[in-house]
Amino acid sequence: MKAFALHPKMLTLQGVFYPKGYAFIMFPEAEQAEQAARELEDGGFPSQAITVLTPEAILREIGQVDGDSDVSLPSVGTEGATVRKYVDLAREGHHALMVHAPSEKDTERVMMVVRKQPFSYGQKYHMLAMEDLE
């Protein structure tokens, strides 16, 4: 697994988190996210394609939240609402798993593993649309 680093390519022109080609799944417990990450690696996903994020990293890097402040990102459509959902869950202690899964086949492989855990929320970022993962 690699450490999370927010890159400009993960943002829209308005500065909202939108990592094209990635699945972003949130879990109530750190152990659930870490277990899913291990299983993905065991299943053939390269470790560099997998990142586990702490609630603090989600708040600071994705939500750009400072302390108890609100989300400072512009409220832009679905992307902004999704970031607010991530922030709300991170404030409750949820962790996230971010996996590079550019194809539908990759996404289904990710979800076969993720569905073994009680995940709280998931999104797949396509070129022009976001997909709820269930």
Better pLDDT: 132 or 69: 132
| pLDDT for the residue numbered 73 | 46
CATH architecture, domain 14-132: 2-Layer Sandwich (3.30)
Return the domain boundaries, the chain.
Answer: 14-132
Query: Considering the chain, what is the average pLDDT of its residues?
Result: 89
User: What is the C-alpha separation between 105 and 121, in angstroms, rounded?
Assistant: 20
Where does the pLDDT of residue 36 fall: very low under 50, low under 70, confident under 90, or very high at 90 and above?
A: very high
**What b/e sequence results for 100-115 when a residue is b if at least 16 CB atoms lie within 10 Å of its CB, and e otherwise?**
bbeeeebbebbbebbe
Per-residue pLDDT tens digits for 92-129: 999 999 999 999 999 999 999 999 989 999 999 998 77
Contact 95, 126 (CB under 8 A): no
State the pLDDT at residue 14: 83
3-state secondary structure of 67: coil
Share of the chain above pLDDT 90, in %: 69
Packing angle, helices 104-114 and 30-42, rounded to 10:
130
Give the model's confidence band at 133: pLDDT under 50 very low, under 70 low, under 90 confident, else very high: confident
Confidence at residue 68, expressed as pLDDT on a 0 to 100 scale: 56
Per-residue model confidence as pLDDT tens digits over 54-93: 999 999 999 987 655 554 544 556 778 899 999 999 999 9
